[in-house]
Amino acid sequence: MTDKNVIWQPQPKQIRFMERTEYEVLYGGAAGGGKSDALLIEALRQVDIPHYRGIIFRKTYPQLSELIDRSHALYPLAFPKARYNDSKHVWIFPSGAKIFFGAMQHSKDKTNYQGKRYDFVGFDELTHFTWEEYSYMFSRNRPSKNPRSNKRTICYIRASTNPGGVGHGWVKQRFIDAAEPGTPIVENTEVKLPDGSTKIIKRDRVFIPATIFDNKALLEENPDYLGSLALLPEKERNALLYGDWDTFEGQYFTEFRTAPDHEKCKAAGITVEQAKEQGRWTHVIPALDLSIGERRGWQIYRSYDFGYAKPFSCAWWAVDYDGTIYRIMEMYGCTNIPNEGVKWTPDKQFEEIARVERTHPWLKGKQINGVADPAIWDSSRGESIAETAIKYGVYFTPGDHERIPGWMQCHYRLQFDENGYARCYIFDNCKGFIRTIPLMMYDQTKPEDLDSDLEDHIADEWRYMCMSRPVKPLKPIEKKTILSDPLDQFTDKQRRRGYQ
């Protein structure tokens, strides 16, 4: 076959994506990796089967226009008799097979696909979708049938995306953090059958990364595109050029650090491990034993945000003699699915909270000051949640519900002083906080607020805690020049305090 007969030729990373056999495959993670092309071509795999039905989603129909335009450039070349129906957003192939383009602008739109079946389900820019929208299509991913044909279709799901967006958190947890790229993630689900027996169902998924550096065709055709990405603001550049999933445009708590900054450690003459032990330029630190030494006198607080279908969040905090707060423990009522609650009743929640406070060596016998969402005092539908808590000896005061001032207190607590010390630390056993706080994003319609449609339950109870002990923002401190220090007194004092 000569080059002029080649309609489309995959890049090596696109081949890796298209040859995977897992049920779910996520491709991309950065701009320019050839994601949309790979998705469009993959959807063609079974169009020789008359009853095959495929669908490719974008969040809104206007966002689909570029994808549809690209399909017009590819599909008729491979299938000259294929026809596109504009009103129904569907390609109809000579065999009778169909590829649809769909959208879910609002979460309720997923029910538009109720009762339908698709052999192939594709999502372009997966992080624009919520977990509920994505997972709903599992139920629609079933084989199409035709009594006149003995050909069988294969059902599977494929997606492509860049970092960032409302779904960044669950996509990162499901595909990026779960395993190394290219390593299959296998889940076995036990299903109980009507006769009482059980059946183990295996589902697997994998992430195949790709960046613009993997798309040599694009770099040859448009070498300036690389420069365009390099000119983006730092966070957006890191996400779109290098596929960095830890920072992204629109992130709310950009200052939150789970590990010390390498350059600042180097400038201070210490290693990253030393900085972590000292709590410098990081907010996540190894757990300290609060049952020994002067830490036994630290005050203990409890913050709480109620949830049932969505997660509830309860955290315990220690406050040292300088007023620095430490998140020492947490109880996060979330299933293995992001933002899905364990559906514990208030009684069960407070029974468990009370048990922990009676038995844990850091908490038992302590006076614990509780702060919670004021909504738990609502008694319009019977016994309030706060009244339920009292039955178990768990007491709260209403938290300050002002959102913007509360978020500012969170920002102030995360600020580092000139020596790399913060006023809020998170013990490394608090996995819920470490996972969800970096995923918080700005609200699109309220510029200073956090998007409350995200998994913000931990953020909310953290805000109540910060508002209960407000601090002022740190002011830049002008570094003094020591003209004469013959006895090395000032320098020695700085060294002892970790300033040098």
The strand pairing partners of 206, in sequence order, are 25
Model pLDDT for residues 131-164, shown as the tens digit of each residue: 889 999 999 999 987 777 788 999 999 999 988 8
Model pLDDT for residues 320-360, shown as the tens digit of each residue: 999 999 999 999 999 988 899 999 999 999 999 999 999 99
Distances (CA, A) of 452 to 166, 414, 440, 444, 458: 11, 21, 9, 11, 12
pLDDT for res 486: 57
Can you spell out the DSSP letters for 69-89?
HHHHHHHHHH-TT-EEETTTT
pLDDT at 204 over 60: yes
Confidence of residue 217 (pLDDT cuts 50, 70, 90): confident
State pTM to two decimals. 0.72
List the one residue out of 341, 320, 307, 329 whose CA is nearest residue 132: 341
Q: How many residues does the chain have?
A: 500
pLDDT for res 500: 35
Average pLDDT along the chain: 90
Confidence of residue 493 (pLDDT cuts 50, 70, 90): very low
Do 56 and 39 form a contact (C-beta atoms < 8 A)?
yes
For 17, the enclosing helix (H) or strand (E) is: helix 12-18
pLDDT for res 218: 77
DSSP 282: -
Range 389-414 average pLDDT: 97
pLDDT for res 247: 73
Range 262-269 average pLDDT: 88
Helix, strand, coil shares of the chain, percent, nearest 5, are 35, 20, 45
Q: What is the distance between the alpha carbons of residues 56 and 481, in angstroms, rounded to a whole number?
A: 63
Q: What is the distance between the alpha carbons of residues 463 and 313, in angstroms, rounded to a whole number?
A: 12
pLDDT at 497 over 50: no
Confidence of residue 305 (pLDDT cuts 50, 70, 90): very high
The strand pairing partners of 85, in sequence order, are 90
More confident residue, 495 or 33: 33
Burial pattern 30-43, b for ≥16 Cβ within 10 A else e, equals bbbbbbbbbbbbbb
Range 368-395 average pLDDT: 96
DSSP 414: H
Where do runs of H (alpha helix) occur along 292-379? 346-359
Model pLDDT for residues 218-239, shown as the tens digit of each residue: 777 787 777 777 877 777 777 7
